[in-house]
Structures are given as structure tokens and as C-alpha cells.
Amino acid sequence: MASSSVQSWRTAFLTLRDETLTSPARTSLPSLLQHLIFSQTDTLVSACTVIPPQEVTSDVMFLVELVGNSAEGEDTDTTYVHISHLMHRVTRRVFLVMNSSSWATMMSFIGKVVESFIGKANKKKAFTGNSASPKPIMEILETLRFLTNGYGKHCLPSDTAVLVKILLHIVTCSHEQLVSSSYVNKQFSADSGTRISKFSNLWETQTVALAMIVEAFSRVGSLVPVEIWQSTIEVLRKVMDALASKGLPEGYVMTRFYTSVLDCLHLVLSDPKGSFSEHVASIVAALRVFFLYGLSSRSLLLCRDTKKELSHQTPKPKFSGSGKIEYGPYRPSHLWKRENMKMQPQSARDLQSSSNQESSGVDFASSDSEHSDTDGTLKEVDYFHSSKARIAAMLCVQDLCQADPKLFTTYWTLLLPTSDVLQPRKYEATLMTCLLFDPVLKARLASASTLAAMLEEPSSNFLQAAEYKESNKRGSFTAFSISLGQILMQLHTGILYLIHHETHSGLLVSVFKILKLLISATPYPRMPSELLPTVISSLRMKIFDGFQYKNDQTALLAIALSCLGSALSTSPPSPRVKEMLQEEILTDFAETSGDNSILLSILKLSEHVANSTISFEAFQVLRAVSHNYPNIMAAYWEQISTIVYGLLRLANLEASNSEVSIQSLTGDSRNSIGLSREKFITAAIEVLDECLRAISGFKGTEDLLDDKLLDSPFMSDIVKTKKISSAPSQSHEVDGPEVSGGDQTVYPSGSRQWSEAIEKHLPLILFHNSPMVRAASVTCFAGITSSVFFSLTEEKQEYVLSSSISAALNDEVASVRSAACQAIGVMACFPQISCRPEILKKLLHAAEFNTHDPLVSVQTTASWALANICDSIRHGASDSILEEQAAGPKTDSHSMALLAVCALRLTKDGDKELL
């Protein structure tokens, strides 16, 4: 049987070659093809699997060239139908051996066939047909799929461009046919919502073509030709416009179509080859329509009691029906697939059955495993299937945001709510609607990811212009800045609501990430004064209440603390937050428990050495409070000193391989200390540093603006008393002036704390094995003020100076030397230093030494220190002349010469420091 079919194949094609070479032709080409080829199609198809692929390819290409080069006649359409059917059956069984030349010939022929089918008045016949006789266009699409499966890996970008042009032409023609047929009024009954109309073949055709475009783009990646990219986005824009203007009919076939459109749009937008600004408005309007696709059968219940939007007593929003998603017993994927087929409309099952009979391999639906087997009961299958379209639409929103953030900001008001965020919307849904009310977890996660992308920089930079005004203070026209303010308020309302009501740990992590980005992007001084305190109170409540699942405690608590740190570090500091923290101080000292105090709770969390992640985030919160609200943190010095000292002592013992300290800890403690010890210890040192600066009133070195006035010729006769200090004096509302126990001597604020740090904390870390820890410890010296420094004993002053100079000269790590130069630069500004040439000479030597460092970061800090030393010397000399103390101490000529040489060298190196 096989040998006879092979003989029939070879005889047919040899005869065809002989007959076509005869001149003049004795028989017309259509008649010849009908007699030799089409009359024995089944026999030829059975032979192609036995004949070598090269021979099959040669004969098929001969047939294609023969028909493609022939003149069109009355029987051309019929010939095309027969040939496309034969090619479909052959390519399904045999991978044709193609090259770039044969591919071009094949695509040229298929292009003619497509134009013959859909470019004429009878184009409807190309799309219509029953399940027993597959449609010509669908056969062509499947043939293209089979060809690309064999040759696609070797396809050049130019070859892909030809393929995509054919596919786009099919999409365009089928779309035009749908539009001209006024399909909207004919597609689904209002009762079932899943009855496929007679136009289902048009939807299927576009679904297949778009899926193949996605595959073609994916194969060539970034090598997609610009003109093809531009043509594709124009076609997709037309399709999206029609969908947005005529609504979204629902159903199994329609969901597949929408998903293919959006997947294709996602691929095009994620790697733009040109400008698409003229399409953004239409695309955004269409994408917004998809946010509620598939949910129309489940009417949304309105939330009760949403008048106070920032209140956390709002009941959790629910969907109607049962009021919640009905979770059933475990159902394996193969049962889902079998029962899902029963739920599909009859025409969709017939179409799939026809495709399976030919083993077409054209599969456009996603894997059954995309959704969890426990996502819902059987009646929810199509409900979850429709969520793929919603997720794909949100991915396209992300693409638009990332491709052109500045342009995309114009459309924020379309995608985000300006009012009633906690009210479900049946129309004009926003991303917050999806995040709050979508019953499918993956859709909510996609919404959260999209919101995070919109709030990241640079997309969120323009939010600094946002401002909030009450509705009764607005005019008829709402400025864009006010609309942004309304959006920020609604985002705060919705996100804070979810923080207290969401139970899924993965989504809750995403919500916390959104909140952190939202805090960073919101200009709180231009918003209601109670907004930031509300955020902090909400986070405090969540931290106190804890989280539902123990396995998620660490990750969720860590990110909650991170959000709290961001809220407390907003700039400028909030007066309302300061008042809130001050009230906590009074409460803490009035009550012994302090259960409701956020700061005492954070201090307790920072002591969790066994969980370095939590302790690290707690230290970051304490650092933020110390930096932004220094008067507040001064009241908690005793607790901070004790905690940091205990941690440093434990870490120092562990670093020295002390068996006692290691054995006293649990296994988790040993692992956490070992893995993140440096980062953890550095965070504790930074808190200590910020607290010392806060208590002593450090504000940084002065700009010495008064000196510029003094140097003016119009001010030279004016005698001014100049005080050089690392920080201006600052009064603090803490415990009042510090006094010694015996003689009631008044010391500057911070003197006692600095003495304690020098005695207890710094000796444990100045010579630590970790460069990160050493750099953080030396940086502490850069925060000391002149009043505190000279209130210390001479031994402690010498300790500070010698430690800084030694680190600058002897440490092997650049970051440590840079930190030491920063400390030297601060201390060089102290007025008493200019009167002590021996100290000034040591500082000068250390700074000058580091100006030779190859790293720019070290050179810059050293140059800044030299600039301060020069200012100190100049002011010391000026003060001596003004006070007629020429006999006072003077800087030796060697130091002055060294300064001059160093300044000239740095100038040649392009250094911008003014020495």
C-alpha cells in the first residue's frame, strides 16, 4: 500500500512537470491539476510520510511556483482552495525543508491565496463554514503554523516580516468584516451570555492570527523591523478602538480573542521601536474597559459605611451571589479540562474537535495550571478564565507607564480613582477597583504590580505638584494638581483599608510595597495635615495586631516596619507627627506599661537579635526618628544605649569566636548573626550616631557666609567676632541642661551621652574586622559639635582626634579613610583647634595624605577637609590681628607651603574645592 502511494506521488509530479514543459500546453493547468493531483489527494497525503522530506519539499515548492506564476482565471479560486487544503494536510505530517529563498516563494504564494479569499466581494465565504468543512483561512493559518514550526528557528527578521504582514492582513480583513456586519447586536443572548453567534469564525480567525504574531515577535526578539512594529500597533489600535466603542461581549471564544489581542499589544509595547504617543489615548481608554471584563454576571455589593474614608471600620467589600468565592474540594487539572469542555458553547467544541482531528497543534489557550486547582468550583471555571484578559490589560498599562512615564501621567485620572475608592464600580473601573474587589487573586496581584510601577520613579516625580482641596473650595474647573491630590487621598484610603483587611500574605506584601512607594511620592505638606499621622497610626495598629499566619510574620513585619520608617523620614518633618510622638513620650513616662507606644515597641523589636531582619528594620525606624525628630529621640537615650551596647558586645564576642556567646544562642540566632552581622551592626551604629547628633544639636558645618561679607572692602573696617563651630548651638526640649552630680557644673547638651559612647560603644567597633562597621564608627566623630568636644576630658579629646587621624592614615579600606577625612574636616572647624598648631598639623598631614588616593570619593572628602583647615588657619590669623595678639601661636611655614603645593596640585587635577 505504501509503495503504491509513493509511486502515485512520484508519477503525478513527474507527469505534471512533463506536461507543463510541453509547449504549447495540451491541457489547461486547472484541468491538469485536477486530473493529476486533486483527484487523488488522499493517496498523495498518505505517501508524503514515506517519501524523503527533501523530495516532498521540492515537489510542493514546484506546485507552488507553478500555480503562483500562472495567470489568474475563472478557476483560480477553486485551484487555490484545493492547493491550500493539500498543503495543510501535507505540512501537518511532514516538516518541509525550507530556506530563505523557498520561504519567500511560499509566503508570496500564500499572500496571493489570502488576497484571493478575503480581498474580493465573496470574502464571507473565506470565514464561514461548518465544522465538517474547515474554513480556508483557518487552514492557511494552520499551514503557516506548521511551516514556522519547522523553519521558524532559522527565520531571518526579513522572513518574519513577510509572515507578519500576511497575518496582519488577515486580522485587518476579518476585523473589517465584523465591523461591517454590525456584530454587536447579534452575538450573545442576554440570558446565557455564552451563545456563540454566526460570527464566531471571525473571532477565531483573529485569535489564531494574533497568537501567531506573538510567536513571530518572540522568535526575533528585539530584531523586529520598525515598519512591521509600526504596522502592528496601528492594526491593534483599530481593533482596540472598536472594542472600546462597542463593548465587550463575554464568552469562552471572546475571552481567548481578547487575551490574544492584549498579549500581542503587551509584546509590542514592551519593546517599542518608535513613538506611539498618538495611540496612547485610545489604548488607555480601551484597556480600562477590560478591568471589569467577565464580572458582569456577579453584581457588586456596595460597601457600607464608607463616609469616613480613612476609618478602618469599613466592612470588607464582597461580591454578590454567595457574597464570596465558593471554594470547593480539590479538582485535578484533567477533570477541570474535561468539565470545562462541557461548558464551552457547541460551536467552540466543534471547532476544537475539527482541529484535533487534523492534529493541528494550534493551541491558543493558556495552560490549565495557570490557575490553582483550588481556585474555585466548576461554575467558576469561565469566571477565572476571563481573568486572563483582565491581567493582560493591566500588563499593557505597565508597559505604557514604563515606555513613556511623562506622557503616561496625563492618563492617571482615567486609571485611578478621585473619589469613593471603597465603593465597587460597575462602570468606569479603575486599578484600585481591581485591587480591592477582583475575586481572582492573580488579577489583584497584577493590579498591585501595575500600581507599584506607576508609583515608582520617574513616573511618580510629577506627584510633587499634587495638592488637596476640599470639594467646597473648588471651582467649576478642577486643576490637574488638585485631581492628583484627590487620587493620592483615595490611594491612601484604599491601601490602608487593605492593610487591615487583606489576609493573603503574598498580596499583603505587595500592598505594603505600594504603600512605601506612595509615602515616598506624596507631598504631605500639600496634603491634609492628618494624612501622614493617619498612615503612621495605621501601621502602628497593624504592627501591634500582628499577622494571621506565623510563617509570614517575619516578612510582613519587616516590610511594615520599612513602611513605618519611610513615613517617619518624610521631609520636611510633620508638626502633627511631632505632636503625636511627644504625646507618646508623656504617656510612656506616665504609664509603666507603654503598650501603645510605637517607639517603645520599636525599641523592643530592635532587641530581637535572634531575628536580624526585624531588628535591622526596627533600627532603621529609630534612625528615621532620630534624624527627623531629634528632640523626641533624646528622651530614649538610655534604652538605645543599652540595646546598642548589648548588641555590639555580643557581636564582638562572636567575631572573636567566643564559644560562650555562640552556645548561648539558638541555631537561628547563630545563623542570623553570621549571615547579616555587618549590615545589622552598622544599622545599630547609625542609630547611635543619629541619636548623638540629635542630642548634641549637630546641624553640619557652617557655610561661613559672614566671612564673605567680612572680606568685602566695604566691610573691612567692621570688627566682627567669629565663632567657627561644627554646629550652631541648639536648645532642646529634653531633660534640661546636664549637670554633674557633685559640683552642679552645667555641661552642653550631649556631653554625657558622648562620654558614655566613647567609654562603652566606640572601643568595641573602631577596630572591627568589618570595613563597613569601622566606617560607620568613624563617621560618628563627624557628628560631634565643638561645644561637646571641648566639654570632654583631655583624654577623650585625644581619643577622638587620634582615632580619626589613625583611620585616615593607616586603614586599608577607602570607605574608612573617607569617613575619617570627613571627621577631620568637621573638627578642623572648631575655633580652639586653630590655636593649637600641633593638632592642626596632624590634621593637615592626614588630609593631605588622602588627597593622593586614586579614588575620587576619598580625594573629594580629603579636599573638603583641607578647605576647612585653610579656613580655620585664616580665621585664626584674622582673630589674632583683630585682637592685637600677634604674639599668639602661628602655623609653621612648612605647613603653609604644604597647603599651597597641595592646592595647586588639586587645581591641576580639576578639583573644584575652593582652598
Say which residues have a Cβ less than 8 Å from residue 111's Cβ, sequence separation at least 6: 162, 165, 166, 169
Is the pLDDT confidence value at 573 over 80?
yes
The pLDDT score that the predictor gives to residue 485 is: 94
pLDDT for the residue 873:
81
Confidence grade of residue 831 (pLDDT, cut at 50, 70, 90): confident
DSSP code at position 130: -
The pLDDT of residue 549 is 67
pLDDT at residue 416, rounded to an integer? 95
pLDDT > 70? residue 554: yes
| Maximum CA extent, the chain | 130
Q: Supply the DSSP symbol for 181.
A: T
367 Cβ contact partners less than 8 Å away, ≥ 6 residues apart? none
CA angle at 296 for the pair 294 and 300, rounded to the nearest 5°: 120
Cα four-point dihedral sign 575, 577, 579, 581: negative
Cα separation, 307 vs 734, in Å, equals 41
At residue 675, the 3 state secondary structure works out as helix
Q: Which residue has the cell 511618580?
A: 460
Q: Which of 349, 364, 380, 357 is nearest to 196 (CA)?
A: 349
Q: How far is CA 354 from CA 18, 137, 165, 342, in A?
A: 37, 14, 27, 16
Q: Are 250 and 294 in contact (CB under 8 A)?
A: yes
Second CATH level (architecture) for the domain 705-731+793-908:
Up-down Bundle (1.20)
Length of the chain: 915
Q: Of 639, 644, 534, 544, nearest to 589 (Cα)? A: 639
The DSSP 8-state label assigned to residue 300 in this structure reads B
Rounded Cα distance, 70 and 351, in Å: 34
The residue-averaged pLDDT of 559-584 equals 93
Q: Which residue, among 495, 543, 540, has the nearest Cα to 522 in the 3D structure?
A: 495
Query: Residue with C-alpha cell 600641633?
Result: 838
Report the distance separating Cα 231 and Cα 216, nearest Å: 14
Q: What is the pLDDT of residues 71-93, one digit of tens each?
A: 777 788 889 989 999 999 999 99
Rounded Cα distance, 72 and 619, in Å:
82
| Residue 388 parent element (H or E) | helix 387-403
DSSP string, 344-379: S-HHHHHHHHHHHHTT-----SPPGGGS-TTS--GG
Q: Is the pLDDT of residue 685 over 70?
A: yes
pLDDT beyond 90 at 315? no
User: CB within 8 A of 214, min separation 6: which ones?
Assistant: 260, 263, 264, 267
Cβ distance 449 to 401 under 8 Å? Answer: no
pLDDT number for residue 707: 41
Q: How many other C-beta atoms lie within 10 A of the C-beta of residue 516?
A: 20
State the number of CA atoms in the 13 A half-sphere of 897 facing the CB. Answer: 3
pLDDT at 906 (0 to 100)? 75
Alpha-carbon separation of residue 905 from 300, 451, 808, 857, 891 (angstroms)? 74, 52, 20, 17, 21
Percent of the chain with pLDDT over 90: 46
Q: Worst-scoring range by mean pLDDT, 130-144, 669-683, 895-909?
A: 669-683
Helix axes 893-908, 856-882, angle to 10 degrees: 140
In this model, does residue 680 exceed pLDDT 70?
A: yes
Look up residue 844 and give its three cell numbers.
Answer: 593637615
Binned at pLDDT 50, 70 and 90, residue 748 comes out as confident
- Produce one character per residue of 827-840: b if its CB has 16 or more CB atoms within 10 Å, e if not: bbbbbebbbebebb
Q: Say if strands 746-747 and 738-739 run parallel, antiparallel, or are unpaired.
A: antiparallel
Q: How far is the C-alpha of 287 from the C-alpha of 389, rounded, in Å?
A: 10
| Residue type, position 106, single letter | M
Q: With bands split at pLDDT 50, 70 and 90, how would you rate the model's confidence at 96?
A: very high
Torsion of CA 91, 93, 98, 101, to 10 degrees: -20
Tens-digit pLDDT profile for residues 211-253: 999 999 998 888 889 999 999 999 999 999 988 887 788 888 8
DSSP string, 395-445: HHHHHHHHH-HHHHGGGHHHHS-SS-TTS--SSS--HHHHHHH-SSHHHHH
Q: E strands within 539-583?
A: none
R_g of the chain, CA atoms, integer Å? 38
Going 133 to 136 to 140 to 141, the CA torsion angle's sign is: negative
**8 Å CB contact between 729 and 706:** no
In sequence order, the 6+-apart residues with CB closer than 8 A to the CB of 477 are none
Tell me what pLDDT residue 510 has. 96
| Cell 551621652 -> residue | 753
Cα–Cα distance for residue pair 729/192, rounded to 1 Å: 78
pLDDT in tens, 694-706: 998 887 654 433 4
* Domain boundaries along the sequence of the chain: 1-97, 100-227+333-364, 705-731+793-908
- In the prediction, which pLDDT does 125 show? 57
Return the closest-CA partner of residue 239 out of 322, 183, 178, 160. Answer: 178
What does pLDDT average to over the chain? 79
Residue 835's pLDDT band (boundaries 50, 70, 90)?
Answer: confident
SS3 319: strand
Query: What is the rounded distance in angstroms from the CA atom of residue 122 to the CA atom of residue 593?
Result: 86
Other CB atoms within a 10 A radius of the CB of residue 802 amount to: 11
pLDDT computed for residue 816 by the predictor? 96
pLDDT tens by residue, 756-809: 999 999 999 999 888 999 999 999 999 999 999 999 999 999 999 999 999 999
Give the dihedral of Cα atoms 869, 870, 871, 875; nearest 10 deg: 100
Q: What is the pLDDT of residues 157-199, one digit of tens each?
A: 899 999 999 999 999 988 888 777 654 444 443 333 444 455 6
d(CA 313, CA 122): 63
Distance CA(213)–CA(628), nearest Å, equals 54
Cis preceding-peptide flag for 225 (omega within 30 of 0)? no
Alpha helices in 70-199 (DSSP H): 76-93, 100-118, 124-127, 136-151, 157-180
Would you state the pLDDT for residue 381?
Answer: 53
DSSP state of 819: H
Q: What is the pLDDT of residue 596?
A: 66
Q: Give the highest mean pLDDT range of 188-202, 369-383, 439-453.
A: 439-453
Instruction: Report how far apart, in Å, the C-alpha atoms of 751 and of each of 702, 743, 745 are.
Output: 21, 16, 12
Locate all alpha helices (DSSP H) within 697-813, ordered by sequence: 705-710, 751-756, 771-781, 786-789, 794-810
